[in-house]
C-alpha cells in the first residue's frame, strides 16, 4: 500500500470512528434517555453514563491530536476496554447475538484506524 493511501485510510477510519464516539460521548454527558435505558438494563448506576461519556469525549480529543503519541495509544486502549466491556455486559445481561456483536464490530473498525496509524508512523520513521 502506498504511503498516501495509508494516510488517507487512517484519516477516513479515524474521523468516522471519532464522529460516532463524539455523538455517543455527548449523549452520555447529556444523559440521553436511550443511554439511561441501556445502563438500567445492564445494571449500571446512572452516574456511569456521565463518566463513560466524558471518557469518550476525552478519548476523541486524544485520538485526533497528533503530538502526544502515548496519550493516543492509551486512548485506543481505553476504547478497546470500553467495547470489550460493552460486549461482555451485553452477554451477561442475556442480550441477543446482534447486541453482543455490535461493540465488537465497532472495536474492529477502531482497530482498522489503529492499524493504519501504526503503518503511517512506520513509514514516517523510515523516511527520517
Tens of pLDDT, residue by residue over 15-64, are 999 999 999 999 999 999 999 999 999 999 999 999 999 999 999 999 99
Higher model confidence: residue 127 or residue 14? Answer: 14
Which pLDDT band holds residue 75 (cuts at 50, 70, 90)? very high
Whether 77 maps to a domain, the answer reads: yes
Does 71 fall in a domain?
yes
Span 82-98, pLDDT tens digits: 999 999 999 999 999 99
Query: Would you state the cell numbers that stand for residue 35, as one nine-digit string?
Result: 443511554
Residues in contact with 84: Cβ distance below 8 Å, sequence separation at least 6, in sequence order: 103, 107
19 belongs to a structural domain: yes
Domain assignment present for residue 128? The answer is no
Quick check: is 15 in a domain?
Answer: yes
Other residues' Cβ atoms within 10 Å of the Cβ of residue 106:
19
Q: pLDDT band for position 127 (50/70/90)?
A: low
pLDDT for residue 128 is more than 70: no
Q: Taking all residues of the chain, what is their mean pLDDT, rounded to a whole number? A: 95
pTM: predicted TM-score of the whole model, two decimal places: 0.91
Q: Which residues of 51-75 are buried (b: 16+ CB within 10 A; e: fewer)?
A: ebbebbbebbebbeeeeeeeebeeb
Give the separation between CA 44 and CA 37, rounded to whole angstroms.
10
What is the extent of the structural domain holding 29? Answer: 3-117
Residues 6+ apart with CB under 8 A from 103: 82, 83, 84, 86, 87, 90
Q: Are 114 and 13 in contact (CB under 8 A)?
A: no
Burial class (CB in 10 A: 0-12, 13-18, 19+), 30: exposed
| Total domains present in the chain | 1
90: in domain:
yes
Residue 126 lies in a domain: no
Amino acid at each position: 500500500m502506498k504511503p498516501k493511501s495509508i494516510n488517507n485510510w487512517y484519516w477516513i477510519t479515524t474521523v468516522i470512528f471519532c464522529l460516532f464516539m463524539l455523538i455517543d460521548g455527548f449523549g452520555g454527558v447529556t444523559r440521553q434517555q436511550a443511554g439511561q435505558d441501556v445502563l438500567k438494563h445492564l445494571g449500571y448506576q446512572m452516574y456511569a453514563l456521565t463518566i463513560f461519556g466524558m471518557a469518550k469525549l476525552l478519548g476523541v480529543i486524544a485520538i485526533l491530536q497528533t503530538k502526544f503519541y502515548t496519550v493516543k495509544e492509551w486512548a485506543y486502549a481505553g476504547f478497546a476496554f470500553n467495547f470489550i466491556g460493552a460486549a461482555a455486559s451485553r452477554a451477561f445481561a442475556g442480550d441477543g447475538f446482534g447486541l453482543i456483536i455490535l461493540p465488537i464490530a465497532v472495536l474492529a473498525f477502531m482497530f482498522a484506524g489503529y492499524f493504519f496509524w501504526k503503518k503511517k508512523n512506520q513509514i514516517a520513521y523510515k523516511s527520517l
